[in-house]
Amino acid sequence: MSLDLRFRQDFSGFTLDVDLQLPGRGVTALFGPSGCGKSTLLRCIAGLNAARQGRCVVNGEVWQDGANTLPTHRRPLGYVFQEPQLFAHLSVRANLQYGRGRTAGTAQQVDWDRAIELLGIGHLLERRTAALSGGERQRIAIARALLTSPRLLLMDEPLAALDLARKNEFMPYLERLTRELDIPVVYVSHAPDEVARLADHIVAMEAGRVVAAGPLAEVLARVDLPIRLGEDAGVVLEGVVVERDLQWHLSRVAFPGGCLWVRDGGQAQGTTVRIRILARDVSLALSPSADTSLLNSLPVVVDQIADESHPALALCRLKVGSGSSSLLSRLTRRSAAALNLRPGQAVWAQIKAVALIG
C-alpha cells in the first residue's frame, strides 16, 4: 500500500505545494511550525479542503485527480481532530455504535471488542461524553474512527488540547494501536516528543512546502538540512532492552551497531524502545578513555561534516557499526581542525546523555 499525493492550491494567500509518495504502513508525521500547511495537507487528503490542482491515490484507488474528486464520505478513512467531535447527548456506547454503523458488517476490519480493548475504554461505555476527561474523550474519538474500518487514519494534533500529565497517560494507547493495527496513520504534530515516540516516517514542512521527507532515523541524521525536533538536532534510534542494572537503575539498550546505557524506565528485557541523542551531547575523541564519568563511548566513522548556523561550529554525521545507525555531533571548527577530522576517519563518540523516549 502507498499514498501518492500531489496538491497545489492557494488558500487566502497561503500556497500549498506538495508532491509526495508516502508508505502505506506505519505512522507518517507531518511536522513543522504552526501555519506551515500540515493540517491543510491533511484536510486535502480527506477531501475537506478543495484543491483544484490535486491528485490523491491511496493503495491504487484514486480519491482525486484534478477536478474529479471522491466525496469525503465515500473515502475509507478515519479522521481524528484536535477536539473530539463526539455527540454530547449520547453515551460512549452510542457514539461508538454510530461509528460502527457507517461500515457494512462484511467490510468491518476492526471489531468492537478489539477497538475497546486497544483504547482501554470498556469501563466508560455507559457514561455520557460530557462527564469524561479530555484524554478519555479523545480515546473515544479514536475508537469510533477505528470502528469505521478505515484504510487510512488521519490524526490532526490529537494531543494538542491535553496537559502534560494527560498526554503522558494517553501516549501508550497511541503507541499500542499504531504498533498492533495494520492501518497506516498520517499524524499532524508540531510536538517533538510525539514525533520522536510515534513516527516511522517524517515529512518536514515549511511555508506550504516539503523540505525533507523519509524514514525518521534517516531524515533526523541529515547534516545538509538538519531537522530539529525541539531545541536541537539529534537522532532517534530504535533498540531492545538487553540488560537491567537494578542497583544503579540503568538499562542497556542494543541497537544496530552498538549498545548504550540509559536511565531505567521500567521496561522489561526484550522490550523494544526508542532512544534520542542530541548533537550537543556527543563529543569526539581519537581514542577511548577510561578516566571519564561518561558511561557511553562508541567507535564510529566520520561520514559527513557540514557547516552549522554559526561559523564557529560544524555538524558531523557519524556512522555506527555497519553504518545502519547514525549519530550527530556538534563541535567547534577549532576542535575539528585539532582532531584533523575528515570523512572516513575512525573516531570515538563520547555520549553525555541519552534520553529514553518509550
Residue 349: which CATH number?
Answer: 2.40.50.100
Question: Which strands sit side by side in the sheet containing 152-156, from one edge to the other?
Answer: 68-69, 61-65, 53-58, 2-11, 14-23, 209-215, 201-206, 27-31, 185-189, 152-156, 77-80
118 and 13 within one domain: yes
Write down the pLDDT at residue 155: 95
Residues 25 and 67 in one domain: yes
Q: What average pLDDT does the segment 163-190 reach?
A: 87
Average confidence (pLDDT) over 158-186: 87
- pLDDT band for position 105 (cuts 50, 70, 90): low
Domain hosting residue 66, numbered range: 2-220
Q: What is the amino acid identity at position 231?
A: E
pLDDT at 322 (0 to 100): 81
Decide if 35 is inside a domain.
yes
102 pLDDT tier (thresholds 50, 70, 90): low
Does residue 103 carry a pLDDT above 70? no
> Are 113 and 200 in the same domain?
yes
Supply angle C-alpha 59, 62, 63, rounded to 5: 105
pLDDT at 166: 83
**307 assigned to some structural domain:** yes
Residues 210 and 348 in one domain: no
pLDDT at 63: 93
Give residue-wise pLDDT tens across range 11-44.
Answer: 777 899 999 999 988 999 999 988 899 999 999 9
Residues 165, 243 within the same domain: no
Residue 198 phi, psi (nearest 5):
-105, -35
Average pLDDT over residues 299-324: 92
pTM over 0.85, yes/no: yes
User: Are 193 and 259 in the same domain?
Assistant: no
Mark which of 164, 198, 220 sits at the end of a domain.
220
For residues 244 and 229, give the distance between their C-alpha atoms in angstroms, rounded to a whole number: 28
- Same domain, residue pair 239 and 197: no
Which strands make up the sheet holding 250-255, listed edge to edge?
258-263, 250-255, 234-245, 272-278, 355-356
CATH at residue 73? 3.40.50.300
**Cα gap 312→47, rounded to integer Å:** 48
Mean pLDDT score, 114-118? 89
Secondary structure element (H or E) that encloses residue 63, with its range: strand 61-65
Per-residue model confidence (pLDDT) at position 161 = 83
pLDDT at 288: 86
Do 184 and 3 touch, CB atoms closer than 8 A?
yes
Identify whether 159 is part of a domain. Answer: yes
Q: Give the count of domains, the chain.
A: 2
**Long-range pairs for 116-124: beta carbons < 8 A, 24 or more residues apart:** 116/143, 118/143, 118/146, 118/173, 118/176, 118/177, 118/180, 118/181, 119/143, 119/146, 119/173, 119/177, 120/173, 121/92, 124/92
The pLDDT value recorded for residue 107 is: 57
Residues 211, 287, single domain; the answer is: no
Q: Are 162 and 188 contained in the same domain?
A: yes
> In this structure, are 148 and 294 located in the same domain?
no
Q: What is the mean pLDDT of the chain?
A: 89
* Residue carrying C-alpha cell 465515500: 74
| CB crowding 233-245: b at 16 or more within 10 Å, else e | bbbbbebebeebe
Per-residue pLDDT tens for 212-259?
A: 999 999 999 998 887 887 778 999 999 999 999 999 999 999 999 999
My answer on whether 74 and 180 are in the same domain is: yes
Q: Going by C-beta distance under 8 Å and a sequence separation of 6 or more, which residues neighbour residue 309?
A: none
pLDDT in tens, 71-101: 998 999 999 998 888 888 889 999 999 878 7
- Model confidence at 51: pLDDT above 90: no
For residue 226, tell me if it sits in a domain: no
Question: pLDDT digits over 258-307, tens only?
Answer: 999 999 989 999 999 999 999 999 999 999 887 788 889 999 999 999 99
pLDDT at 276: 93
Is 225 a member of any domain? no
Q: Of 10-14, 48-52, 274-278, 322-326, which range is least confident?
A: 10-14
Higher pLDDT, 358 or 281: 281
Task: Let me know if residue 229 belongs to a domain.
Answer: no
In a domain? residue 228: no
Written as one letter, the residue type at 169 is E
The whole-number pLDDT of residue 1 equals 61
Task: Tell which of 186, 220, 254 closes a domain.
Answer: 220
Final residue of a domain: which of 220, 253, 269? 220
Does 189 map to a domain? Answer: yes
| Same-domain check for residues 207 and 106 | yes
Q: Does 108 score more than 80 pLDDT? A: no
